[in-house]
Structure 1
Amino acid sequence: MPAKLTPLVFDYHPGASQVVDNGHTVQVLVGPGNYLIADGDKYQLIQFHFHHPSEDAIEGKHFDMELHMVHKDADGNLALVAILLSDGKANPLVQMGWDNVPTEKEKVKTLTTPLDPKEILPATEGYYSFAGSLTTPPCTEGVRWFVMQSPLDISVHQEQSFAALYPNNSRPIQPRNGRTVEASR
């Protein structure tokens, strides 16, 4: 449903980051100082991780992969920004993550080059918003979701590299159960 949603404000900056294969996905741990502001609420970016195939669909269309940017406010409330990924051109930020995945699960590798989370954001700012839960156990409720309307490119090779580790680490789409999905105009 189209709605008058306020623009999301991404206050992201280059900084130190780490990569870990946590046994469920490839996760990039982001240093402090990166924020999402949604409706005046400020959430710090903690990490982002990947799912194959996408967990969200737009008008019934699934995408090759999905990236989840996990944010937390001062009270511990979560907000997730989902970015859909489609096969196309190689994505340099995704490649930086792939190039640094530790060979052992749960081992952390520090990136030698500062990572700028802003580089993973789509150029267009439209998004869908809904209340939901985490998609991995314990599937905590009360999460604010923002799914960006424009997908980003990743190469087929990048998708296949992740799929070799995790061929299907996605939660199926859940019933709406009366929830409203709003779309920015």
Structure 2
Amino acid sequence: MKKKFVYPFLAVSFIFTLVACSENTKEATNTNESKGKENHSTQTAHWSYNGETGPEHWGELDQANSMCVNGSEQSPINIEFSQVKTEKKTGNIQIQYETTPFTLVNNGHTVQANATTDSNSLLVEGNTYKLVQLHFHTPSEHQFNGHNLDMELHLVHKDENGNIAVLGMMIQEGKENEKLAPIWDVLPKEETGEDIAVKEPIDLQGLLPQDQTSFHYNGSLTTPPCTEEVKWVIFEQPIQMSKEQVQAFQQLFPDNHRPVQSLNDRELYEIN
């Protein structure tokens, strides 16, 4: 009698083992997919830059967005030059950029270029962050003395522990930006499901302004979930883009900026 129940028992056990393995594999796959999407925003609740899903409502859309309303170190901010600490710090930042291939996506909130290598780094306060992606906002998210510029470029970096540092460059209308032309040549007009290859690599070092005086402060992501403990470095000297380049982006995203947030008790200092 015992032998009659051995094989059914083994069969049932085998089925349960297969189901368990299947579920574990599915969970691991979902986790890996979420880690692979190196977007400036990491949460899935729908949000936008206007109306009932706009910045003033981000905190209501998802519990994960609580920092958008409860955080004390939020970004962007108005950089009032008179509030910048007068003592100058040197040697606190090092940028190591090279000509790099990118892929491009329109994620519905901005145009984002994803780095295909980890060869670019930003050293801030002794910690090394690798460039993950860059993207654009219009008008600028940060303000200088209460004024927005035409656009703003964010280069998002992460260290080995997932901590974030963002290098920001203000953009003003002027001459054509040849360094960014390869991206503008393939600007996706609609939200994309797959990355688009940028035909030519981007000269990141050549993209930087000649004067690299920069403002530093502790802030957050400027999109949901508004995660804090982000190191911000904003160049004082803007870079330029042509009127045609600015308008080409604004046709896709007429306004994709978060309003400035309170500085509160944070220190804002300048590095030459």
Q: Is the 8 A contact 2:106 2:191 kept in 1?
A: yes
Measured after TM superposition, the shift of residue 103 of structure 1 is 4.3
- State how far apart, in whole Å, the 1-side matches of 2:270 and 2:204 are: 23
- State how far apart, in whole Å, the 1-side matches of 2:271 and 2:96 are: 20
- State how far apart, in whole Å, the 2-side matches of 1:141 and 1:156 are: 34
**Bigger RCO of structures 1 and 2 (CA < 8 A, at least 6 apart):** 1
- What TM-score does the superposition give when structure 2 sets the normalisation length? 0.65
Residue number in structure 1 paired with 2:186: 100
- State how far apart, in whole Å, the 1-side matches of 2:174 and 2:139 are: 15
Alignment of 1:3-152 (within 5 A): 3-7=87-91, 8-31=93-116, 32-106=118-192, 107-152=194-239
Q: Is the 8 A contact 2:132 2:156 kept in 1?
A: yes
- What TM-score does the superposition give when structure 1 sets the normalisation length? 0.94
Q: Is the 8 A contact 2:209 2:238 kept in 1?
A: yes
Specify the code of the residue in structure 1 equivalent to 2:88: K
Greater strand share, structure number: 1
Measured after TM superposition, the shift of residue 104 of structure 1 is 4.1
Greater helix share, structure number: 2
Q: Which has the larger radius of gyration?
A: 2
Q: Is the 8 A contact 1:101 1:109 kept in 2?
A: no
Residue number in structure 2 paired with 1:184: 271
Q: What is the DSSP-based 3-state SS (H/G/I as helix, E as strand, rest coil) of the residue aligned with 1:183?
A: strand
Gaps in structure 2 of 5+ consecutive residues: 1-84
- State how far apart, in whole Å, the 2-side matches of 1:3 and 1:12 are: 28
1:95-132 C-alpha deviation (Å, 9 max, x unpaired): 22111223441231112222222122111110000010
Q: What is the DSSP-based 3-state SS (H/G/I as helix, E as strand, rest coil) of the residue aligned with 1:61?
A: coil
Q: Is the 8 A contact 1:6 1:39 kept in 2?
A: no
Runs of 4 or more above 4 Å deviation: none
Specify the code of the residue in structure 1 equivalent to 2:210: A
Measured after TM superposition, the shift of residue 40 of structure 1 is 1.7
1:174 aligns with 2:261: yes
Specify the code of the residue in structure 2 equivalent to 1:145: W
Q: Is the 8 A contact 1:128 1:182 kept in 2?
A: yes
- State how far apart, in whole Å, the 2-side matches of 1:158 and 1:61 are: 21
Tell me the number of residue pairs that the alignment of Structure 1 and Structure 2 aligns.
185
Identical-residue share of aligned pairs (%): 38
Is the deviation greater in 137-146 or in 14-23? 14-23
- State how far apart, in whole Å, the 2-side matches of 1:57 and 1:175 are: 12
